[in-house]
Amino acid sequence: MTHLRSKRLPISGYASPGHGRVVAAVLGLVAALCLGAVGEAQAVSPAPTARTAPAAPTADRWADQPHGFASLAGGTTGGAGGKVVTVTDQASLAKYAAAEEPYVIRVSGAIAVEPFGSDIVVTSNKTVVGVGDTGEIVHGELHLNPGTSNVIIRNLTIRDSYVEGDWDGKTTDFDAIQMDTVDHVWIDHNRFTHMGDGLLDIRKDSRYITVSYNRFTHHNKAFGIGWTTNVQTEITIDHNWFTGTKQRNPSADNCAYAHLYNNYLSAQVADGDPTWTYGNWSRGRTRMVIENSYYDGVQHPYQADATAELVQRGSILKNVSGRQDAWGTAFEPREFYDYRLDPAAAVPALVKKFSGPQQRIGTTLRVPADYPTVQAAVDAVPDQNAVPVTIAVAPGTYREKVFVPAGKPNLVLLGTGRDRSDTVIVFDTPAAYGGSTGSATVRIAAHDVTARNLTFSNDFDEAAVELNGEQALAMKTTGDRIVFENTAFLGNQDTLMTDSPKLDVINRVYVRDSYIEGDVDFVYGRATTVIERSVIRALSRGSDTNNGYITAASTWTGNPYGFLITRSEIVSDAPDGSYHLGRPWHPGGEPAAVAQVLIRETRLPAAVKSSPWTDMSGFSWKDARFAEYRNFGPGAAVTADRPQMSAADARVHTVADYLRGTDGWAPYARH
Query: Known catalytic residues?
Result: 248
User: What Rg do the C-alpha atoms of the chain give, in angstroms?
Assistant: 30
* Separation of alpha carbons 91 and 423, rounded Å: 40
* Separation of alpha carbons 615 and 602, rounded Å: 23
CA atoms within 13 A on the CB side of 6: 25
Please give the angle made by the CA atoms of 109, 115 and 116, to the nearest 5 degrees. 75
| Residues ≥6 apart with Cβ < 8 Å to 402 | 374, 375, 378, 425, 441, 442, 443
* Separation of alpha carbons 276 and 334, rounded Å: 32
Report the candidate in 479, 467, 653, 442 with the shortest Cα–Cα distance to residue 566: 653
* Separation of alpha carbons 312 and 323, rounded Å: 13
Report the candidate in 423, 435, 510 with the shortest Cα–Cα distance to residue 473: 435
β-sheet with 149-154: strand ranges across: 83-87, 103-107, 126-130, 149-154, 183-188, 207-212, 233-238, 255-261, 287-291, 309-313
Query: Residue 225: helix, strand or coil by DSSP?
Result: strand
**What residue type is assigned to position 1 of the chain?**
M
| Residues ≥6 apart with Cβ < 8 Å to 170 | none
Query: Can you list the positions of beta strands (E) in 368-481?
Result: 389-393, 396-399, 402-404, 411-415, 423-427, 442-444, 449-452, 455-458, 475-477
CB atoms < 10 A from the CB of 8, how many?
21
Distances (CA, A) of 441 to 67, 120, 425, 661: 36, 43, 7, 28
What would the DSSP string read from start to end of 480-546? SSEEEES-EEE-STT-EEE--SSTT---EEEEES-EEEESEEEEEESSEEEEES-EEEE---S-SS-
Would the CA dihedral through 41, 44, 46, 48 be positive or negative? positive
CA atoms within 13 A on the CB side of 60: 14
